[in-house]
């Protein structure tokens, strides 16, 4: 059995993060019980989000004597899949917030500063406080930057007022987005929903919020005075063709108007006008509510480090890793993990769950002078909420193959209550188990 088969079969045995449940907690792919590897290696991890925290927890159980240092200036850990529920008025802002340090094991040194410089040739990282850290292994897990500045007229201060929402900006902003969406679905008008043309985390989230807004208007009896428009950035609603087609049908049934090739490029909050780039040139759309989702890029420090792809995603700066091993193409002691990776799919926490054991495997094998065997197959998943109490559990890989965790039990393209429960109830405990390195 090669490494790829191993990953696939273990995935079938367990559940994807989005399909998480108690079974995952019991059976999940916790670090192997092999003898700990003795080493004095210096491992530096940039970012204590979903990916960095999960890896740190697993490495302390695999390595004995290693110096593991984690850098992150953010004292709060944010459970981002909760933002959609907060923005739908179903959870309070605090639902997504915990303390970063509470997730970290003994044996990991947390430096509460960001990386300000990365020199992969000298093998050093410089923190914002000026500390220079040498490393033997570097794991870049910085997540991504929400580039609100790329939309003239948009500012985080606007969120919650004058019909401006943004589910992505953080838990407090998600709560303010709920206030704006609640008002809109009570009073009526035009609601605009779109996604950026860059790669993005959780590409399902813009769609979920469109459906949730429709559902609220239906429940409030205001649907006839609410116009909902979903403006896709290219010629599809989703990267997987069969899912895109299902969405086309659902949008039609729900009277959600659609257009292709529309990318938000400017906002005039005073006039409540959004400008979209289209093949015919800039086009203005009036709104009473808009869910602004900005372009997403690698953080500046990563883009300046020389670790990004030189010939792909040049406006976005994702790092140049092998899509199977997540090892950097030019610096073998550097790995990418999570949203920062320049791979064709996988900007979800569900992907992180399957990426972490792969990086762990190759990093530990390299310390031992061996070859790692695990391969990331692009697994990602999206519990695509279609109304309160219903979701489609869409799971797929690099090749757009649907990869259901529960074949024959949960149909990926059906709107099911059980799939809703996965998102609303099971996902957070499963995510937390992943953070602890237990799943
Ligand atoms: C609205 C929304 C809904 C979502 N829904 C789902 C869902 O239903 N299912 C799902 O699986 N996923 C979902 N996701 C995606 C998921 O949250 C991310 O893919 C996941 O958090 C990625 O993990 P990460 O560690 O790469 O990045 P993050 O979790 O974002 O962590 C990155 C960390 O790096 C730190 N950092 C940044 N710059 C630096 C620096 N210079 N130095 C040091 N540290 C730095 C940050 O402070 C942060 O703590 C959703 C995301 C959003 C926003």
Q: State which ligand 1 atom lies nearest to the alpha carbon of 79.
A: 17
Nearest atom, ligand 1, residue 74 CA: 47
Q: What is the pLDDT of residues 308-353, one digit of tens each?
A: 999 999 999 999 999 999 999 999 999 999 999 999 998 999 999 9
Confidence at residue 24, expressed as pLDDT on a 0 to 100 scale: 31
Q: By alpha-carbon position, which residue is closest to atom 35 of ligand 1?
A: 47
Output the CA 76–ligand 1 centroid distance in Å: 12
- For a pocket test of ligand 1, which of 339, 380, 431 has the largest count of ligand atoms closer than 8 A to its C-beta? 339
- For ligand 1, atom 52: residue with the closest CA: 80
pLDDT, tens digit, 9 for 90 and up, residues 101-111: 999 999 999 99
- Determine whether the shortest distance from the Cβ of 318 to ligand 1 is under 6 A: no
Q: Extract the residue ranges of the chain whose pLDDT is less than 70.
A: 1-34
Per-residue model confidence (pLDDT) at position 29:
52
Distance from the CA of 220 to the center of ligand 1, in angstroms?
Answer: 33
Give the number of the atom of ligand 1 that is nearest the alpha carbon of residue 17: 11
Stated pTM of the model: 0.94
Probe ligand 1: pick from 129, 201, 423, max atoms within 8 Å of CB? Answer: 201
75 C-alpha to ligand 1 centroid (Å): 14
- Count the neighbouring beta carbons within 10 Å of the beta carbon of residue 40: 11
Question: What's 104's DSSP letter?
Answer: P
C-alpha of residue 170 to centroid of ligand 1, in Å: 11
139 close to ligand 1 (CB < 6 Angstrom): no
Q: Is 177 in the pocket of ligand 1 (CB under 6 A)?
A: no
Residue 205 Cβ < 6 Å to ligand 1? yes
Per-residue model confidence (pLDDT) at position 28 = 41
Q: Please state, in angstroms and rounded to a whole number, the distance separating the CA atoms of residues 351 and 184.
A: 34
CB of 52 sitting under 6 A from ligand 1: yes
Q: Does the C-beta of 63 come closer than 6 Å to ligand 1?
A: no
| Two structure tokens written together for 136 | 């033997």
For ligand 1, is residue 334 a contact (CB within 6 Å)? no
CA of 236 to the centre of ligand 1 (A): 25
DSSP 317-373: --B-B-TTT-BBSS-TTEEE-GGGB-SSS--SHHHHHHHHHHHHHHHHHHHTT----
119-162 per-position pLDDT tens digit: 999 999 999 999 999 999 999 999 999 999 999 999 999 999 99
> Cα(347) to centroid of ligand 1, in Å?
8
Residue 50 CA to ligand 1 centre (angstroms): 6
Q: Is 47 in the pocket of ligand 1 (CB under 6 A)?
A: yes
Q: Which of 258, 267, 309 is nearest to 285 (CA)?
A: 267
- Cα 348 to averaged position of ligand 1 atoms, centre (Å): 8
Instruction: Judge contact between 207 and 247, C-beta under 8 A.
Output: yes
Sign of CA dihedral 95, 173, 315, 278: positive
Please identify, by atom number, the ligand 1 atom nearest to the C-alpha of residue 302: 41
Order of strands across the sheet that contains 257-259: 164-165, 289-291, 189-194, 226-231, 257-259
| Cα 339 to ligand 1 centre (Å) | 7
Q: Alpha-carbon distance 145 to 142, whole Å? A: 9
Write out the H or E segment, with its range, that includes residue 428: helix 427-435
């Amino acid at each position: 059995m090669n490494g790829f088969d191993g990953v696939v079969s273990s995935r079938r045995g367990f559940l994807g993060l989005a399909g998480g449940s108690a079974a995952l907690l019991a059976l999940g792919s916790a670090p192997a019980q092999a003898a700990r590897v003795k080493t004095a290696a210096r491992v530096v991890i940039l970012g204590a989000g979903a990916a960095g925290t999960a890896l740190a927890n697993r490495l302390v159980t695999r390595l004995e004597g290693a110096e593991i240092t984690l850098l992150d200036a953010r004292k709060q850990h944010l459970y981002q899949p909760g933002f959609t529920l907060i923005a739908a008025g179903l959870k309070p802002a605090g639902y997504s917030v915990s303390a970063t340090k509470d997730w970290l094991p003994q044996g990991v040194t947390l430096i509460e500063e960001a990386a300000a410089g990365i020199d992969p040739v000298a093998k050093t990282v410089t923190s914002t406080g000026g500390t220079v850290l040498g490393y033997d292994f570097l794991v870049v897990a910085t997540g991504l930057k929400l580039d609100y500045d790329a939309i003239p007229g948009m500012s985080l201060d606007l969120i919650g007022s004058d019909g401006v929402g943004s589910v992505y900006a953080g838990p407090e902003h998600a709560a303010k987005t709920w206030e704006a969406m609640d008002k809109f679905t009570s009073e009526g008008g035009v609601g605009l929903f779109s996604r950026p043309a860059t790669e993005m985390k959780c590409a399902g989230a813009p769609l979920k919020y469109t459906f949730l807004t429709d559902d609220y208007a239906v429940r409030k009896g205001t649907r006839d005075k609410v116009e909902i428009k979903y403006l896709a950035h290219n010629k599809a609603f989703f990267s997987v063709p069969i899912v895109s087609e299902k969405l086309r049908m659902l949008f039609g049934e729900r009277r959600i108007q659609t257009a292709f090739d529309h990318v938000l490029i400017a906002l005039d909050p005073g006039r409540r006008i959004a400008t979209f780039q289209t093949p015919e040139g800039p086009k203005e759309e009036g709104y009473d509510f808009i869910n602004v989702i900005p372009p997403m890029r690698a953080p500046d420090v990563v883009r300046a480090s020389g670790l990004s792809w030189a010939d792909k995603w040049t406006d976005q700066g994702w790092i140049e890793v092998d899509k199977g091993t997540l090892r950097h193409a030019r610096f073998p002691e550097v790995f990418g993990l999570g949203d920062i990776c320049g791979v064709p799919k996988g900007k979800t926490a569900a992907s992180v769950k399957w990426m972490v054991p792969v990086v762990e495997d190759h990093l530990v094998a390299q310390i031992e002078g061996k070859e790692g065997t695990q391969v990331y197959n692009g697994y990602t998943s999206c519990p695509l909420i279609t109304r309160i109490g219903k979701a489609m559990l869409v799971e797929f890989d690099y090749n757009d193959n649907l990869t259901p965790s529960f074949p024959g039990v949960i149909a990926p393209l059906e709107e099911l209550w059980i799939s809703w429960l996965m998102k609303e109830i099971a996902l957070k405990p499963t995510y937390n188990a992943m953070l602890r390195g237990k799943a």
